[in-house]
C-alpha cells in the first residue's frame, strides 16, 4: 500500500480528486484542517488535508460503472465503520480485509490462505503507518524551515528598511549603524528616522562630514541647553513641582532643597499642598527637621497659600510640592491654576519617570499643556539602561531638561543635565571629561 496526501478547500473537493485519480478502492487514512504557510495565506481559511492509502495494482485506468454512479462509494475513514455492501455498488465498496486480500493477490498472484491474508494486511498497515510517519516528519521539518526563513526575512526588513506612508527609506551603512543605536536606546522610531534622514542630507552636502558627527549635532539640537534653577542674589524665587503620582516629586523636592541649603548655603523653605497623602507630609517633616528648613502645610490653596508665602518672606528659595492626579482630573487642574495665580512661580519643574512608557509620557504632557512654560526633571534614570527617554521628552514636549535623579540618596542622587554625555550614551561613545564635582554642581 502506498500513501499520498491531498488538499482541498473542503472534503467534497478532496474526495472528488481522490476518486478521480485513485478510484474507489483508495482508503482515507486521516483528514484534518490545516493552515497554509506563508504571508499571503495569513488571513486565509484553513483547508482540508487528507492522507490516502492505495494499492497501485488496484487503481483502475478507467472508472467503473458503479463508481460513476456513486464516486464516493469506495472511500471511508479507517476510524469509522465501512459502509454496508449492497448489490448496487458491488465491489466498489470494500472492507479493510478485502483491501488487504487484494494486496496479497497482487503480491502473490493467487488468493492465499486467511492467515497469509491477515499477515499481508498487517504488513500493508505497518508500511502505511511508517510512510505516514515519515511524511509527517518531513512536512514538520519543511514547516520549521519555512518559519525560519520568514522570520529571517522579517528581521532583515525591520533592521534595514522602514516603510511609512508608502515611502521606503534606505540608509548608508554608517547612518544605519547610528540609526540602529538610537533604536536600541528606545528612541522613538519617528524621531530616529527624522534624525537619520537629516544626517544623510548633511553628509550629501558637506564634504568630509561623518555620520556620527552629523547625528551628534542633530541630537544636541533636539536636547537644547539645560535649564536648571538659577538663583539671583538678594531676590526670592518660588519653584513649583508638578507631575503624576509615584514619579518621586516629594523626594526630588527634598534633594533640591537640601542641595541649595547645604551645598550652596541658601535660605530655603518648603510648602506642601499634597495633603492627600499622609506619607508625603511625614517625609517632608522628617527632612525639614534634619535640615532646619521651615515647612508649611496648605489644605485650601485659595485661602491659605498666600499666608504661608508671607511667613517665608525671608526665604531665598521656596519649593512648593503638589499632589499627583490622573490625567484629565479637572479638580486637580483647578487647584494647580489657583497655585499658579497666587504663588506666581518663576520656575516650574515637571517631574516624570524615566521608566514610563512613551505613550504614557505623551499623555502626561498633553494633560499639563495648559501650563505655558516649564522644564523637565526626569527621575529614576538609574532604573533603566536606555537614555532615549530624555531625547523623546525634549522632542515631544518641546521643553528643556533641568535635572536627572539617579537614586534615593539625599541630596547626592540628583544631577545637572550634560547634553554631551547624553549624546555619548545614545551613540555608544565614551563620555566627555566632566568631573564628579561638575556633575553634582547644581
Q: What is the predicted pLDDT for the residue at 97? A: 42
**Picking from 193-197, 242-246, 422-426, which range would have the lowest pLDDT averaged per residue?**
242-246
Specify the 3-state DSSP secondary structure of 393: helix
Is 228 domain-assigned? Answer: no
Q: What are phi and psi of 159, to 5 degrees?
A: -85, -35
Whether the bond between 168 and the residue before it is cis, its omega within 30 degrees of 0, is no
Residues 6 or more apart whose CB falls under 8 angstroms from that of 418 comprise 226, 432, 434, 438, 439
CA gyration radius, the chain = 39
Residues contacting 64, CB < 8 A, separation 6+: 23, 24, 92
| 153, part of any domain | no
In a domain, 158, yes or no: no
In the block, residue with C-alpha cell 550652596: 264
The helix (H) or strand (E) run that includes residue 376 is strand 375-379
* One domain for residues 219 and 312: no
Q: Do 136 and 178 reside in the same domain of the chain?
A: no
For residues 127 and 244, membership in a common domain is answered with no
Instruction: Give the total number of structural domains in the chain.
Output: 3
For residue 296, the surrounding DSSP H or E stretch is strand 295-297
Say what the pLDDT of residue 197 is.
Answer: 92
The answer to whether position 106 is within a domain reads yes
Grid coordinates of 102 = 487484494
The CATH number that applies at residue 374 is: 3.40.50.300
| Residues 77 and 185 placed together within one structural domain of the fold | no
322 vs 241: CA distance, rounded Å = 6
Q: Which of 44-48, 111-115, 148-152, 424-428 has the lowest average pLDDT?
A: 111-115
pLDDT tens figures, 149-171: 877 777 666 655 544 444 446 78
- Tell me: do 89 and 181 sit in the same domain: no
Residues 355 and 303 placed together within one structural domain of the fold: yes
Task: Note whether residue 156 is domain-resident.
Answer: no
Q: Do 55 and 98 form a contact (C-beta atoms < 8 A)?
A: no
Predicted local distance difference test score (pLDDT) of residue 436 = 41
Residues 251, 346, single domain; the answer is yes
Out of 148, 178, 205, a domain closes at 148
Do 298 and 273 form a contact (C-beta atoms < 8 A)? Answer: yes
User: Same domain, yes or no, for 253 and 195?
Assistant: no
Residue 131 structural domain: 2-148
Gap between the Cα atoms of 102 and 96, Å rounded: 10
> Is 98 in the same domain as 181?
no
Instruction: Looking at the structure, tell me whether residues 219 and 241 fall in a common domain.
Output: no
Stated pTM of the model? 0.59
pLDDT at position 329 over 50: yes
Q: Is the same domain home to 301 and 360?
A: yes
| 368 located within any domain | yes
Which are the contacts of 159, defined by CB distance < 8 A and separation ≥ 6? 180
Q: Tens digits of per-residue pLDDT, 25-45?
A: 788 888 888 877 766 666 677
Question: Is 72 inside a domain boundary?
Answer: yes
Beta-ladder partners of 237: 317
Three-state DSSP at 264 gives coil
Do 248 and 384 share a domain, yes or no? yes
Closest listed residue to residue 98, CA positions, set 9, 199, 173, 24: 24
Amino acid at each position: 500500500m502506498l500513501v499520498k496526501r491531498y488538499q482541498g478547500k473542503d472534503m467534497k473537493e478532496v474526495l472528488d480528486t481522490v476518486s478521480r485519480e485513485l478510484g474507489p478502492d483508495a482508503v482515507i487514512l486521516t483528514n484534518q484542517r490545516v493552515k497554509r504557510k506563508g504571508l499571503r495565506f495569513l488571513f486565509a481559511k484553513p483547508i482540508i488535508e487528507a492522507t490516502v492509502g492505495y494499492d497501485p495494482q488496484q487503481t483502475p485506468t478507467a472508472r467503473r460503472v458503479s463508481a460513476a454512479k456513486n464516486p464516493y462509494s469506495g472511500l471511508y475513514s479507517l476510524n469509522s465503520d465501512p459502509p454496508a455492501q449492497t448489490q448496487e455498488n458491488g465491489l466498489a465498496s470494500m472492507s479493510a480485509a478485502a483491501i488487504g486480500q487484494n494486496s496479497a493477490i497482487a503480491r502473490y498472484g493467487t488468493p492465499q490462505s486467511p492467515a497469509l491474508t491477515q499477515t499481508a494486511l498487517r504488513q500493508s498497515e505497518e508500511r502505511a503507518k511508517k510512510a505516514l510517519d515519515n511524511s509527517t516528519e518531513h512536512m514538520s521539518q519543511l514547516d520549521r524551515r519555512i518559519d525560519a526563513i520568514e522570520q529571517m526575512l522579517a528581521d532583515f526588513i525591520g533592521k534595514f528598511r522602514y516603510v511609512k506612508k508608502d515611502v521606503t527609506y534606505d540608509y548608508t551603512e554608517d547612518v544605519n549603524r547610528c540609526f540602529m543605536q538610537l533604536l536600541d536606546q528606545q528612541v522613538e522610531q519617528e524621531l530616529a528616522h527624522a534624525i537619520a534622514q537629516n544626517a544623510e542630507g548633511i553628509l550629501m552636502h558637506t564634504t568630509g562630514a561623518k555620520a556620527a558627527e552629523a547625528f551628534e549635532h542633530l541630537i544636541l539640537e533636539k536636547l537644547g541647553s539645560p535649564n536648571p534653577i538659577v538663583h539671583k542674589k538678594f531676590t526670592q524665587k518660588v519653584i513649583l513641582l508638578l507631575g503624576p503620582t509615584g514619579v518621586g516629586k516629594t523626594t526630588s523636592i527634598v534633594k533640591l532643597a537640601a542641595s541649595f541649603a547645604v551645598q550652596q548655603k541658601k535660605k530655603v523653605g518648603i510648602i506642601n499642598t499634597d495633603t492627600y497623602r499622609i506619607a508625603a507630609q511625614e517625609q517632608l517633616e522628617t527632612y525639614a527637621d534634619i535640615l532646619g528648613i521651615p515647612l508649611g502645610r496648605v489644605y485650601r490653596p485659595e485661602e491659605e497659600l498666600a499666608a504661608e508665602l508671607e511667613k517665608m518672606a525671608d526665604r531665598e528659595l521656596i519649593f512648593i510640592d503638589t499632589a499627583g492626579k490622573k490625567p484629565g482630573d479637572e479638580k486637580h487642574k483647578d487647584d494647580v491654576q489657583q497655585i499658579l495665580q497666587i504663588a506666581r512661580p518663576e520656575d516650574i519643574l515637571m517631574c516624570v519617570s524615566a521608566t514610563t512608557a512613551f505613550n504614557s509620557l505623551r499623555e502626561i504632557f498633553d494633560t499639563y499643556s495648559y501650563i505655558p512654560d516649564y522644564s523637565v526633571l526626569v527621575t529614576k534614570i538609574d532604573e533603566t539602561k536606555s537614555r532615549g527617554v530624555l531625547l523623546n521628552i525634549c522632542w515631544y514636549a518641546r521643553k528643556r531638561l533641568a535635572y536627572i535623579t539617579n537614586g534615593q540618596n539625599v541630596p547626592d542622587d540628583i544631577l545637572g543635565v550634560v547634553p554631551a554625555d547624553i549624546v555619548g550614551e545614545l551613540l555608544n561613545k565614551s563620555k566627555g571629561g566632566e568631573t564628579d564635582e561638575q556633575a553634582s554642581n547644581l
